[in-house]
Amino acid sequence: MNDLIGYDIPDSIAIAGGSGSIRGHHSLAAIAPRERFVPPEFLEIVQEATRTVEDELAAEDRGWLRAGVATYQIITDIARIEAINFSRLYYVRDPLAKQAIRLWTDYTFGTGMTWSAEDKPTSKALDDYWNSRANQAVLSARGQRKSSDKLLVDGEVRAALLAEIGAFAVDEAALRAVHGWLLPPVGPRGRRPTHLHPRPRSRPRGPCRPGCRSTARHRPR
């Protein structure tokens, strides 16, 4: 009320509103703020205090890389990948960051998230899906904690619901976590693929002639 213009309402005036009225001695504040004179000495004290805090914060930020972009900028795919890589690096190298994420996950999930449904068919369908062995990598207590850590480190969590064509049962679908910037191929029923990379071998006498077999080999990573 110090920064606003106040008006006193006498007891004889009633403020009507809705189904009744309010009577008594009140103070009605106007929307327009009151212009006050601020001494220059006060402004100097405030500037000195804020400058000291800003200098201390800037000193603490020395040696650290600032990930991300400003709010008015558009983040590109490359900048997003770099930000995720920096965040993962700090999570591994900085013990305070890892401790903060651990405390956040402990406070949020604890021993795991549970659910309940009053409708019996819905409860049975959710129970079969939640307790399915194929979905324990994401829905178990450990899977929930891993998803929480991934969300806090990467800033996002992506999941894919995989189901075969013609499968209508809920327990036949598989839930899989997807990499932050990569959509890997999946096998039947959502099985994790075997990551391979080509290892080409060239012949000393030149390229393969028509009719010869390819010499490309694959080995697990």
In a domain, 126, yes or no: yes
pTM of the model: 0.48
Range of the domain at 13: 4-33
In a domain, 115, yes or no: yes
- The closest alpha carbon to 143, from 132, 183, 85, belongs to 132
81 and 175, same domain (yes or no):
yes
In a domain, 70, yes or no: no
Q: Is the pLDDT of residue 89 over 80?
A: yes
pLDDT interval class at 101 (50, 70, 90): very high
In a domain, 58, yes or no: no
In a domain, 201, yes or no: no
Is the CB of residue 190 less than 8 Å from the CB of residue 162?
yes
DSSP state of 213: P
97 and 183, same domain (yes or no):
yes
Helices (H) and strands (E) in the chain, counts: 6, 8
Number of domains comprising the chain: 2
Q: Is the pLDDT of residue 137 over 60?
A: yes
90 and 184, same domain (yes or no):
yes
In a domain, 68, yes or no: no
If you average pLDDT over each of 2-11, 16-25, 122-131, 193-202, which comes out highest?
122-131
Provide CB contacts within 8 A for 67, sequence distance 6+. 82, 83, 86, 87
In a domain, 18, yes or no: yes
